[in-house]
Amino acid sequence: MPGPALTWELADGVAIVTFDLKDSPVNKFSRAVKDEFLATFTALEQDRAVRAIAVFSGKPDNFIAGADIEEFVTIGSAAEAERLAAEGQEMMDRVTRFPKPVAVGIHGACLGGGLEFALACHYRVATDHPKTQLGLPEVQLGILPGASGCQRLPRLIGARAALDIILAGRSERAPKAFRLGMVDELVHPAILQDITIAAARRLADGWRPRRRRPGGVLAWLLDRNPLGRRLVFRAARRQVLERTKGHYPAPLAALEAVEHGLKHGMAEGLKREARLFGQLAVTDVSRKLVQIFFATTQLKKDFGIPNAPPPTAVQRLAIVGAGFMGSGIAGTAIVQAGVDVRMKDADLPRVATGLAAARAPLDDRLRRHRIAKYEYARLAALLSGGDGYAGFGRADLVIEAVFEDLSVKQQVLREVEAAARDDAVFASNTSTIPIARIAEAARRPERVIGMHFFSPVDRMPLLEVIPAARTAPGVVSTAVGFGRRLGKTVIVVKDTPGFWVNRILAPYANEVGHLLAEGASIEEIDAAAVGFGFPVGPVTLLDEVGLDVAEKVSQVMGAAFGERLQATAGVAALVKAGRLGRKSGRGFYRYGGGKKRGVDPAVYELLGVHPNGGPRLAEILQRLVDGMLNEAARAVGDSVVGTPRDGDIGAIFGFGFPPFRGGPLRHADDLGAARLVAELERLAERYGPRFAPCEVLQEQARRGSKFYP
Ligand code: 3H9
């Protein structure tokens, strides 16, 4: 009798097994599915007519997404999680030791436990389709590949290549996976079934595939002898510590599982792997990372407004402003969405520069053999531009990315409305100016919306979509849908100055000026934030954003929110002195050859301050973080984000709020409102009313409530 996941049929001695988990968009291994696998394999073993097995997924574009994450988050103890891993390992072992050959045909995502299963099979065929990705993303969930992945992958492709994948939680596209030796054959999707079945049959006839072991002198030196391997592990450990700063235990544990297995053999390796999996699965870090996974998955389906109508599919995009942001959006649009892009700027040289910049990510892909030449030519041909609005009449969506100035943006809006179709959407890529103000100039305000991209557009994963009061619901869906096609995680936020990300960054960035004035050094301020887990400190962040941009933002925020979010004069003084941050080679730090070159002591003079000890590191950190948490709580009270989930994802993907802390609102919950309010009251007494705890936190402290009940 067929179970909920597996069916099979016999074709000329080969059992064709299809994994298609009912009522689920992806295949995943739960305990029930694992039991069904074991029962099916027992039946296949006993059936004399079956000479070989070929396994496929019944899902259109997904192979197996790994272990069921929902199941393992319910686990209460490390011992129970260890048992789960050991059972997973036993299932994989059963497949490897199966007396009849097992071939697997992979199309779509083959991740985590899914790849561990494929590695346990005797022969792997994968499609060369872009959707086919093979990887072990476990460390991104704060765990490690616990169903023998830490043992099988290094044995198949060598320790170095395996560590690259396991420690970063990376996925490889099929062609790269083939080059690395993770799969035996690469085929077009149309012939996946035939080739896999034929391989199973050949294996049953006694054929044995000849696998190249990772070759070359380097492989011999580093992968196959213990001394070389020790070097590999030492270097990997150093890199992991540099990257994680000790905040994430999973990559180090995975390293230990791999190393232990290579030193003491498969059986010992498996034991260690299961034990470490058990320990990791119940850590707070893992819980937080899993919450982020589910939050981003939910956001893929959420259009941010109730009863959202379906989005219009954007086929033609037009962009006004061929500068850094405009060309960044254009480049991302052709690479990710394959849409036709028309750019406009004031004169042709600027347009030409913008077009070249937009092509840069494509050039990069060609150089790295990520796309074929014909694909490059096809995508590059999607880009065009001019100094007028020719071609804008065909656009479904027009994005404005001009200078951050209300009257300039309104002028562009008027011109676009004259040139574009009545049903085209006009989106402003503003970082602070309320969309309703821009839309005051519109003839069709219901078609106007904000799309706040972050710089550099191709690398920053967040998009804020900002409907104004009069924006039509369909326009919101279209902007959100298009943002997703660009590969962005999209949050819909309220039309208030600074929206979400810049609003909660404002007190954090402003505090830099206060701290410097009190004698803190630039390095100390940054070090405090990095120690907390931010990718860079607030001073470096200002340099990266651009001090001129930061100055504009802070003016808008100061005007809108008054003293609480008023910047000190520091940034303006630096801008006046021609220091615009990284892009101009000088900001708070000096830059040369694409690298940060250390603090420029001249900055202290320009600001009229002297680093002389200043506040203690812990005090600096509390001021930076508590100010941000307070503003985040206040913005939630103002309904700037629809849910705490959106706020946390926005902070994590927008500026790298430490993922292992779950976002500012989860972090506030962890601290507890009562404690946070007490800390803020102390800071307010000492440093001024900007720290006064907001009503939302006070209310939570009174009631003992939280953002996430
Ligand atoms: C692991 O394998 C541990 C083992 O080493 C050891 C064990 C002992 N579990 O993202 P989508 C759901 S750890 C549960 O929108 P897409 C997802 O929540 C696992 N649920 O689709 C969503 O549910 P809903 C390592 C899962 O096409 C629905 O499927 N694996 C899982 O854009 C659709 O998802 C990973 O970390 C899962 N494993 O992307 C892979 N996977 O519809 C995680 C998905 O109710 N998954 N769901 O909201 C992914 O990266 C993407 O989902 C994938 C598909 C690329 C597969």
Query: Does residue 3 register a pLDDT over 70?
Result: no
Q: Is residue 121 part of a domain?
A: yes
Dump pLDDT digits (tens) for 10-50: 999 999 999 999 999 999 999 999 999 999 999 999 999 99
Ligand 1 atom closest to residue 137's alpha carbon, by position in its atom list: 36
Q: Is residue 65 part of a domain?
A: yes
Dump pLDDT digits (tens) for 167-194: 999 999 999 999 999 999 999 999 999 9
Q: Find the mean pLDDT for residues 275-297.
A: 97
Tell whether the torsion through CA atoms of 95, 99, 100 and 103 is positive or negative: positive
* 240 lies in the same domain as 100: yes
Question: Where a domain ends, among 459, 492, 525?
Answer: 492
* 271 lies in the same domain as 336: no
Ligand 1 atom closest to residue 61's alpha carbon, by position in its atom list: 27
* 181 lies in the same domain as 43: yes
* 423 lies in the same domain as 553: no
Q: Report which protein residue has its CA nearest ligand 1's atom 15.
A: 297
* 421 lies in the same domain as 519: no
Q: Is residue 308 part of a domain?
A: no
Ligand 1 atom closest to residue 144's alpha carbon, by position in its atom list: 5
Q: Find the mean pLDDT for residues 141-152.
A: 98
> Per the structure, how many domains does the chain have?
3
- Phi/psi of residue 537, each to 5°? -80, 175
Is the CB of residue 670 less than 8 Å from the CB of residue 708? no
The mean pLDDT of the chain is: 95
Of 464, 524, 544, 631, catalytic: 464
Could you tell me the distance, in angstroms and rounded to a whole number, from the CA of residue 169 to the centre of ligand 1? 14
402 Cβ neighbours under 8 A, 6+ residues apart: 320, 321, 323, 326, 408, 409, 412
Is the CB of residue 448 less than 8 Å from the CB of residue 417? no
* 513 lies in the same domain as 455: no
For the question of residue 464 being annotated catalytic, the response is: yes
Could you tell me the distance, in angstroms and rounded to a whole number, from the CA of residue 489 to the centre of ligand 1? 16
Dump pLDDT digits (tens) for 594-611: 899 999 889 999 999 989
Which CATH number goes with the domain that contains 341?
Answer: 3.40.50.720
Q: Is residue 462 part of a domain?
A: yes
Ligand 1 atom closest to residue 67's alpha carbon, by position in its atom list: 2
Could you tell me the distance, in angstroms and rounded to a whole number, from the CA of residue 365 to the centre of ligand 1? 27
Select from 64, 69, 275 the residue to mutate for testing ligand 1; criterion: most ligand atoms less than 8 Å from CB: 69
Which region holds residue 613: left if phi is over 0, alpha if psi is between -120 and 50, else beta?
A: left
Could you tell me the distance, in angstroms and rounded to a whole number, from the CA of residue 552 to the centre of ligand 1? 41
* 257 lies in the same domain as 110: yes
* 360 lies in the same domain as 231: no
Which CATH number goes with the domain that contains 678?
Answer: 1.10.1040.50
Q: Is residue 305 part of a domain?
A: no
Could you tell me the distance, in angstroms and rounded to a whole number, from the CA of residue 112 to the centre of ligand 1? 9
Which CATH number goes with the domain that contains 62?
Answer: 3.90.226.10
Question: Where a domain ends, among 468, 492, 516?
Answer: 492
Which residues form the domain of 376?
316-492
Whole-number Å distance between alpha carbons of 166 and 262: 15
Banded pLDDT at 214 (limits 50, 70, 90)? low
Q: Give the tokens for residue 93.
A: 């072992």
Instruction: For 262-295, give the DSSP string.
Output: HHH-HHHHHHHHHHHHHHHHTSHHHHHHHHHHHH
Query: Does residue 228 register a pLDDT over 90?
Result: no
* 181 lies in the same domain as 97: yes
* 486 lies in the same domain as 512: no
Dump pLDDT digits (tens) for 662-700: 999 999 999 999 999 999 999 999 999 999 999 999 999
Of residues 546, 544, 551, the one with CA closest to residue 596 = 544
* Predicted pLDDT of residue 216: 67
* 148 lies in the same domain as 41: yes
Q: Is residue 275 part of a domain?
A: yes
* Predicted pLDDT of residue 614: 85
Query: Does residue 511 register a pLDDT over 80?
Result: yes
Dump pLDDT digits (tens) for 447-500: 999 999 998 899 999 999 999 999 999 999 999 999 999 999 999 999 999 999
Query: Does residue 431 register a pLDDT over 90?
Result: no
Does ligand 1 come within 6 angstroms of the Cβ of 308? no
Share of the chain above pLDDT 90, in %: 89
Question: Where a domain ends, among 469, 492, 515?
Answer: 492
Does ligand 1 come within 6 angstroms of the Cβ of 70? yes
Query: Does residue 302 register a pLDDT over 50?
Result: yes
* 64 lies in the same domain as 131: yes
* Predicted pLDDT of residue 134: 98
Query: Does residue 95 register a pLDDT over 90?
Result: yes
Q: Give the tokens for residue 41.
A: 């394999």
* Predicted pLDDT of residue 1: 45
